[in-house]
């Protein structure tokens, strides 16, 4: 494991770690972040309210991503943080789980040794490095929904133990599981390909240079958002006039029955069909190159340098409400790909166009990182240390933005003007760090195997950029942030913002190897996550938001014992967090411009919980195990001045300059109980017949709240129901003594229907929509190794 930036046995590392081998990743069908849901204690993987399947965000111990903010759990590939998009909580693109040596999930603040400060944890994707053997594999999978997956790698020692090469690639294509009746397309499909090249050079003893280059391209039909309701009470309010009960005036105001008809149509279609008012899609391209050099200065000191350059580009069109009503702009500059539908209930024909501006990506980023590191093993390995400097620079390559409509009355569907947004944001982070572990046995033999670890990091962050939120039409320009600006061109509406912050992060801990079978540990650590710029601000005072901080107190043990002669591994942890200035995204509304935007609020909380992992081997070749976590999160302070009338925890309705108290809200994106149970068995068939391998895992996630500012139950569907899924895998390995494996796989075997995200805009944009998880997937696979 590399949780402390050096190779160590996982059971010797005083950190809560869940690790996955390549075989386990295949057995569980892990090809993307969502597949890790409920298999790691305290881990929730979801869209965090974003209507994009590729925006899969990690939340650990209640800490994760916030709209437009840095991630709380950072994903690393080959020790380098993946690019983090601005428009969605997404890190990197497709293909990151191909040809990995292992995956490590680290729980808790990792702000001392790892590049970007994290409050919740880190996910380490460790690629297979070239070896000194000619070897490789080719694998094919075929399944329902016309699933086709091809993957392979080849390892070539070009010069024995001097020049080593490994090349890997993958292709995934699968039909979608949500059918769009308007556009006659499958949403939620997958179509991507990726490649990775690794080259290791060892020109002389003590020096190694590893270069890894990767690239991936994904193109799909977008996310199958399903409509679940409209706020009829608000729509029919005479002050809004969006619909009318009873007789109506054609072309002026629609009957509220058309909204009821749309909901009825959605319910009749069911969760696997939708009717979008825009032709949704998503395109994501990523590539990068990382170079790691390691020089042994002597037997005790090693100098390492890690430098990287990465690119990330994404474009997408989404239908937020999952209905034929216009929630997206039909400006003629958009892609000219019309869709035809009729207004529910009265048959009025409708024509739609895509929403994203032509040739304008939502995200177009480049990321440069540089890390210089010195590692040491002194005093017969009784003192180990790592110290270094780190630079992270993420900035836009070209113009980024989108076009959208916050809400359009049904009578004007297809004709409402929308607003455009442009943003250009740079994130730059610099840090100096050091961490050391001392075996106190150096002081006296009585303290042998008692280790003291201390680390410190100081980080300087600078976020700067511009944003432009406006509405333009024939002869007029309206600035959404400030209606008093005398705008004549869209550029008049642009604002600039800068935010500089710096903070120390640290950790101190003790661990004691009681015996070869038992490790006890305890630690206190401090985490910090930078603030940012709110490109969707509709008020001048919400253009930036501050950093957040967490202090974690943790204690646990790791053990390998025998029960009645059976090997048992049991690891457990208890933690308590104080979480300050939590970044919480919320909707916003400027009455002066009638503009819908966003803001980032701050809150304080305390979070505590327990985590456990266990595995028992009752017989040779048989393993039974599982994971469990309980998370208890509670806000201690959560107040803000709302721009529109909202109900707070007192039951009263409040607007600025009054202060709304939201402390009673359940914590976002936390499932109190998460557990999994797995069983695996391997049996030789004797002779050259090969081996049969079986794996089954049941993973359960309890219900979670997703609303950020609306006091329940005023936001329908904000509470995602509990769900559990069963995955199976059966493989016949080394058939007839050959290098061929054949297998069967299935995920969500019981075809459980469950939701993974909710729109949470019923009270602001007056609709409700949801996303459903994957249905049953199954198929066959063949793998040939050489």
Q: What is the pLDDT of residues 240-262, one digit of tens each?
A: 778 888 777 766 777 888 888 88
Residue 664: inside a domain? yes
- The residue among 570, 741, 573 whose CA lies nearest residue 141 is 741
Residue 685: inside a domain? yes
- The residue among 508, 578, 573 whose CA lies nearest residue 62 is 578
- Reported as a pLDDT band with limits 50, 70 and 90, residue 634 is very high
Give CA–CA dist 124/630, Å, rounded: 23
More confident of the two residues 639 and 325: 639
**β pairing state of 400-404 and 383-396:** unpaired
pLDDT at position 192, please?
97
pLDDT at position 751, please?
97
Q: Which residues contact 268 (CB under 8 A, 6 or more apart)?
A: none
> Which percentage of the chain shows pLDDT scores above 70?
91
More confident of the two residues 626 and 276: 626
- The residue among 348, 222, 233, 340 whose CA lies nearest residue 771 is 222
Averaged pLDDT for residues 339-355: 57
- Reported as a pLDDT band with limits 50, 70 and 90, residue 593 is low
Give CA–CA dist 648/642, Å, rounded: 10
Residue corresponding to tokens 């909707």: 587
Q: Answer whether residue 329 shows pLDDT above 60.
A: no
Give CA–CA dist 290/307, Å, rounded: 6
Q: Answer whether residue 337 shows pLDDT above 50.
A: no
Residue 2: inside a domain? no
More confident of the two residues 11 and 692: 692
Q: Answer whether residue 8 shows pLDDT above 90.
A: no
Q: Is 314 exposed, middle or buried (0-12, 13-18, 19+ CB in 10 A)?
A: buried
- Reported as a pLDDT band with limits 50, 70 and 90, residue 711 is low
Averaged pLDDT for residues 271-294: 93
pLDDT at position 671, please?
94
Averaged pLDDT for residues 724-742: 94
Q: What is the pLDDT of residues 62-110, one digit of tens each?
A: 988 777 788 889 999 999 999 988 888 889 999 999 999 999 999 999 8
Predicted structure pTM score: 0.91
Q: What is the pLDDT of residues 21-42, one digit of tens each?
A: 988 888 888 888 888 888 899 9
Q: Which domain CATH number covers 640?
A: 2.40.170.20
- Reported as a pLDDT band with limits 50, 70 and 90, residue 512 is very high
Can you list the positions of beta strands (E) in 54-144? 57-60, 73-77, 80-81, 100-107, 121-127, 135-143
**Residue numbers of the domain that contains 428:** 10-785
pLDDT at position 333, please?
39
Averaged pLDDT for residues 558-563: 94
Q: Answer whether residue 599 shows pLDDT above 50.
A: yes
Give CA–CA dist 73/60, Å, rounded: 7
Q: Answer whether residue 157 shows pLDDT above 60.
A: yes
* Residue 655: both structure tokens together: 């607007």
Picking from 54-58, 160-164, 629-633, 700-704, which range would have the lowest pLDDT averaged per residue? 54-58
Residue 168: inside a domain? yes
pLDDT at position 334, please?
39
Edge-first strand order for the sheet with 185-187 is: 185-187, 178-180, 273-274
Say how many domains are in the chain: 1
Instruction: For the beta carbon of residue 565, count every other beta carbon within 10 angstroms.
Output: 6
pLDDT at position 290, please?
98
Q: Answer whether residue 731 shows pLDDT above 70.
A: yes
More confident of the two residues 353 and 563: 563
Q: What is the pLDDT of residues 394-445, one digit of tens each?
A: 999 988 888 777 667 776 766 666 778 888 999 999 999 999 999 999 999 9
Residue 3: inside a domain? no
- Reported as a pLDDT band with limits 50, 70 and 90, residue 331 is very low
More confident of the two residues 192 and 647: 192
Picking from 340-344, 550-554, 706-710, which range would have the lowest pLDDT averaged per residue? 340-344
Picking from 185-189, 661-665, 691-695, which range would have the lowest pLDDT averaged per residue? 661-665
pLDDT at position 403, please?
76
C-beta of residue 282 within 8 angstroms of C-beta of residue 313: no
Residue 683: inside a domain? yes
Picking from 195-204, 608-617, 707-716, 776-785, which range would have the lowest pLDDT averaged per residue? 707-716
Give CA–CA dist 653/522, Å, rounded: 46
Q: Which residues contact 157 (CB under 8 A, 6 or more apart)?
A: 130, 131, 132, 133, 134, 163, 164, 165
Q: What is the pLDDT of residues 479-491, one digit of tens each?
A: 876 666 677 788 8
pLDDT at position 278, please?
79
Residue 361: inside a domain? yes
Cis peptide before 713, with omega less than 30 degrees from 0? Answer: yes
Q: What is the pLDDT of residues 9-18, one digit of tens each?
A: 888 888 899 9
Q: Answer whether residue 353 shows pLDDT above 60.
A: no
Averaged pLDDT for residues 190-203: 97
Q: Any idea what the Cα angle at residue 356 is, between residues 351 and 362, rounded to 5°? A: 160
């Amino acid at each position: 494991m590399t949780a402390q930036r050096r190779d160590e046995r996982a059971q010797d590392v005083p950190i809560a770690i869940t690790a996955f081998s390549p075989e386990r990743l295949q057995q569980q069908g892990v090809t993307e972040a969502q597949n890790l849901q409920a298999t790691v204690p305290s881990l929730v993987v979801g869209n965090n309210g974003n209507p994009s399947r590729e925006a899969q965000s990690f939340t650990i111990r209640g800490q994760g991503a916030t709209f437009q903010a840095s991630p709380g759990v950072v994903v690393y590939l080959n020790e380098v943080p993946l690019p983090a998009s601005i428009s969605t909580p997404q890190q990197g693109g497709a293909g990151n789980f191909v040809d990995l040596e292992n995956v490590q999930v680290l729980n808790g603040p990792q702000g001392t040794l790892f590049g970007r400060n994290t409050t919740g944890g880190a996910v380490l994707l460790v690629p297979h490095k070239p070896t000194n053997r000619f070897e490789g594999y080719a694998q094919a999978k075929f399944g329902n929904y016309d699933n086709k997956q091809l993957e392979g790698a080849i390892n070539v020692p070009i010069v024995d133990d001097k020049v080593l090469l490994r090349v890997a690639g993958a292709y995934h294509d699968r039909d979608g599981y949500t059918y769009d009746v308007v556009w006659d397309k499958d949403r939620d499909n997958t179509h991507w390909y990726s490649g990775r090249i690794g080259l290791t050079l060892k020109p002389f003893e003590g020096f190694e240079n590893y270069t890894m280059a990767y690239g991936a391209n994904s193109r799909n039909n977008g996310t199958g958002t399903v409509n679940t309701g409209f706020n009829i009470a608000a729509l029919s309010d005479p002050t809004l006039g969006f619909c009318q009960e009873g007789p109506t005036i054609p072309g002026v105001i629609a009957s509220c029955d058309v909204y009821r008809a749309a909901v009825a149509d959605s319910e009749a279609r069911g969760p696997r069909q939708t009717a979008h008012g825009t032709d949704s899609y998503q395109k994501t391209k990523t590539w990068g190159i990382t170079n790691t050099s390691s020089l042994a200065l002597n037997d005790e000191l090693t100098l390492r340098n890690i430098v990287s350059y990465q690119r990330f580009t994404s474009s997408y069109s989404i239908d937020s409400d999952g209905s034929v009503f216009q929630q997206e702009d039909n400006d003629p500059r958009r892609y000219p790909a019309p869709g035809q539908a009729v207004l529910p209930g009265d048959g009025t024909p409708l024509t739609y166009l895509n929403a994203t501006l032509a040739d304008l990506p939502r995200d177009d980023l480049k990321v440069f990182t540089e890390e210089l590191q010195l590692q040491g093993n002194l005093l017969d390995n009784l003192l180990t240390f790592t110290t270094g400097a780190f630079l992270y620079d993420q900035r836009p390559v070209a113009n980024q933005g989108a076009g959208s409509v916050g809400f359009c009355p049904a009578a004007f569907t297809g004709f409402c003007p929308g607003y455009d947004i442009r943003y250009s944001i740079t994130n730059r982070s610099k840090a100096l760090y050091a961490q050391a572990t001392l075996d106190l046995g150096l002081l006296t033999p009585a303290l042998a195997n008692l280790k003291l670890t201390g680390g410190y990091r100081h980080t300087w962050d600078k976020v700067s950029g511009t944003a432009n939120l406006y509405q333009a039409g024939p002869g007029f320009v309206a600035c959404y942030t400030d209606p008093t600006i005398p705008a004549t061109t869209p550029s008049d509406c642009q604002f600039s913002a800068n935010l500089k912050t710096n903070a120390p992060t640290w950790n101190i801990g003790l661990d004691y190897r009681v015996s070869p079978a038992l490790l006890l540990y305890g630690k206190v650590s401090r985490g910090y996550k930078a603030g940012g710029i709110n490109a969707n601000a509709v008020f001048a005072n919400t253009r930036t938001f501050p950093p957040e901080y967490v202090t974690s107190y943790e204690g646990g043990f790791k053990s390998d014992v025998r029960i009645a002669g059976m090997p048992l591994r049991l690891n457990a942890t208890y933690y308590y967090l104080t979480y300050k200035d939590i970044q919480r995204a919320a909707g916003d509304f400027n009455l002066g411009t009638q503009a819908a935007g966003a803001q980032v609020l701050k809150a304080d909380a305390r979070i505590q919980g327990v985590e456990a992992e266990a595995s028992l081997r009752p017989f040779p070749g048989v393993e039974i195990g599982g994971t469990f976590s309980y998370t208890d999160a509670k806000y201690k302070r959560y107040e803000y001045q709302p721009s529109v009338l909202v109900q707070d925890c007192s039951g009263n309705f409040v607007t600025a300059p009054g202060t709304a108290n939201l402390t009673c809200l359940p914590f976002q994106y936390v499932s109190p109980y998460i557990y999994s149970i797995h069983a695996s068995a391997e049996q030789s068939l004797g002779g050259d017949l090969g081996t049969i391998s079986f794996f089954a895992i049941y993973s359960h996630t309890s219900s979670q709240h997703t609303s950020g500012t609306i006091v329940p139950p005023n936001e329908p569907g904000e509470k995602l129901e509990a769900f559990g899924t069963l995955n199976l895998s059966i493989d016949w390995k080394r058939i007839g003594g050959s290098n061929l494996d054949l297998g069967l796989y299935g995920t969500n075997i019981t075809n459980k229907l469950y939701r993974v995200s909710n729109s949470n805009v019923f009270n602001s944009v007056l609709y409700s929509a949801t996303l459903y998880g994957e249905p049953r997937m199954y198929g066959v696979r063949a793998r040939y190794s050489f």
